[in-house]
Amino acid sequence: MAEEMRQELLALAAIFCGPHEWEMLSCSETDGAVFRIHTTAEGLAGEDVPLELAFHLPAGYPSCLPGISVNSERLTRAQCVTVKEKLLGEARRLLSEPMVHELVLWTQQNLGHILSQPETESSNGTCTPPESSAVDGGLWMTLLRLDHMRARTKYVKVVEKWASELRLTGRLMFMGKMILILLQGDRSNIKEYLILQKTSKVDVDSSGKKCKEKMISVLSETKVQTEHKRFLAFEVKEYSTLEELQKEFETAGLQELFSECVLGLVK
């Protein structure tokens, strides 16, 4: 982890030192840092709106944008997405310098104004701010591996819900004990999906208590190429043999991805 990021994390932990304000979720040299900041901001009527801001600082940060997720019990999902998109727009302005504290302050100062702006409705019914766009341009694709699903029915419903809300398409694939998630969409939305996956209590542990996903692996992240199929929806599929799973990848023009990232999981 770069020293600049390390110093920023120490500063943030010192600034947000009140009860339950700061929550470090993961930190590594390869994946960067994932953490949550719990704060409040002034809403439309001047009331305090509780906010949960989750950030993923990748290894290349601050030369690349952080992943951002916004949640609040007082806001609708569409409003949270709008706030996130505005935050990403502000983050672009601050690119190449430590920015998390400034982004939190900016949210606290501008939440009421953001919520007062009209939203536009996309074709799939999801409210999207007018300036919404892919952070890195073009369509991106990520392949994830889950170690297990104890509460499978609930877990699958949550994954489908996140994919729908973030306008992601692809596949949740089961083959024996192997569980893969293939996502296509804006890179910023895929990053938010990863934050949700790592920070939400989506499964249960061996004793039946709700727990966070601690054993997810990012197998591949790349731009969608011309030879790759564009998935039109997010579907859950189960395969009885490796050949069936391989055919799914081949039909989508992803033979190389299957050979490089999937075959080795079953050897």
* Distance from C-alpha of 108 to C-alpha of 124, rounded to nearest angstrom: 30
The residues of the chain that CATH labels 3.10.110.10 are 3-128
| CATH class label, 3-128 | alpha beta
Number of neighbouring beta carbons within 10 Å of residue 4 = 13
Residues 150-168 pLDDT 10s: 888 888 998 998 998 888 9
Residues 174-210 pLDDT 10s: 998 899 999 999 888 898 898 888 888 877 777 778 8
CATH 3.30.70.100 is the classification of domain 140-266: yes
Residue 26: its H or E element: strand 22-28
8 Å CB contact between 172 and 236: yes
The residues of the chain that CATH labels 3.30.70.100 are 140-266
Residues 222-241 pLDDT 10s: 888 888 888 888 999 999 99
Residues 95-125 pLDDT 10s: 889 999 999 999 999 999 999 886 544 433 3
pLDDT for 258 beyond 70: yes
Distances (CA, A) of 151 to 94, 230, 261: 41, 30, 26
pLDDT for 135 beyond 60: no
Which has the closest alpha carbon to 178: 149, 156, 218, 213?
A: 149
Residues 6 or more apart from 181 whose CB is under 8 A from it?
143, 144, 145, 146, 159, 170, 171, 172, 173
Rounded to two decimals, the pTM is 0.58
Q: What is the mean pLDDT of residues 244-266?
A: 90
